[in-house]
Chain A
Amino acid sequence: MLLRYRGGEGMLAWAFHRISGVAIWAFVVLHVIDIFLVGAAPDAYDTLLVIYATPIGIVLEWLLGAAVLYHALNGLRIIVMDFWPALTRFHRQLWYLNWLLFLAIGVPVSWVIFGQFARAMGWWPR
C-alpha cells in the first residue's frame, strides 16, 4: 500500500509519522517499565542495561533516535500548517526542509552513537 498508492510526499510524511509514532509509543511502554524496575528490582534493571548495551541494542537505540527526530520535525511541520494554513501549499518544501534538518542533526548524533557501537563491538577501547 505504501509503495503502490501514488500519494506523493504528503502521504509518505503521514505514513512515516504514524509508523514512527507507534514505534515510539512501544518504546515508551518498555521504558516506563524498565525505569520502574530501578526502584522495584535494581538488579533486573542492571541486567536489562547490559542487553541495551549490546550491538543490537545500540542499533535499536539509534533507530529510536531517528524515529524521535523525524516525528519531532514532522510534528512541527504539521503544527505550522495547522495554524498557518497558507503554508500548506508548501508542504513538500517543508518536508524536504525536515529531511535537511534531520540529516544536519542526525549525522553528528549518529557519530556519537556509532562510538558506543564500536566500543560494544570491541573496535574502540572503553
Chain B
Amino acid sequence: MSGRYGRAGRSRPQSGGWELAVWYLMRLTGLGLFVLVLSHYLILHVIYDPAEQTASWIAEVRWSSLFWRAFDWLLLMLVLFHAFMGVRIVVADYTRGGVRTVTLMALYLLGIVLFVIGTLVVMTLPNVVPDA
C-alpha cells in the first residue's frame, strides 16, 4: 500500500492501458462535474426550492427543453462513471479475493441498471403540455 497514495490523489498508474485511461478519465469527468454538479445544485436547491419540484414540474417545466434534458443526461453519464469508478477503488482497498469479485460485480451491475433507467426517463418522459 505504501507509495500508492501521494499527497495528491491516486498516483498515476505506471501500467498504462485501461487503468491509466481511467486515471485520466477520473480527472476529466471531475472537471466536467465541477461545473455541471455545482450548477445543478445551485439551480435546483438554491435558486428554486426543491419542495416545489413535483413530478409534473419536472415533466412540464424542468425538462421542457432539449437543452436541459441533454444537460442532465450528460451529468448522468459523467457522474455514473466518476462515482462508480471511484467506489471501485474504495472497494478494492478494503476487500480481497472472492468478496472483492462479488462486490465489484454487484457494483457494476448497479451502475448498468442506473445507466439504463436514468437514460430511459430523461429520454422518454413526455412533456404534458397544459391546455392553452
Q: Are A39 and B12 in contact (CB under 8 A)?
A: no
Q: Are A82 and B7 in contact (CB under 8 A)?
A: no
Tell me how many residues of B have a C-beta within 8 Å of chain A: 43
Residues A22 and B41 in contact, CB atoms below 8 Å apart: no
Q: What B residues does A53 contact at CB under 8 A?
A: 50-51
Contacts of B46 in A (CB 8 A): 109, 112-113
The A/B interface has a contact count, at CB < 8 Å, of 112
Interchain CA distance A61-B49 in the complex, whole Å: 11
Which of B13-21, B28-36, B98-106 binds A? B28-36
Q: How far, in angstroms, from A52 to B54 measured CA to CA in the complex?
A: 11
Residues of B within 8 A of A40 (CB): 121
CB <8 Å contact, A82 and B27: yes
Contact (Cβ within 8 A) A22 B45: no
> Is residue B95 within 8 Å, beta carbon to beta carbon, of the partner chain?
no
B61 at interface, CB cutoff 8 A: no
A-B contact pairs, 16 of them (CB 8 A): A21-B90, A22-B87, A24-B83, A25-B87, A32-B117, A33-B114, A33-B117, A39-B121, A49-B54, A68-B41, A72-B33, A72-B37, A75-B30, A76-B34, A78-B27, A82-B9
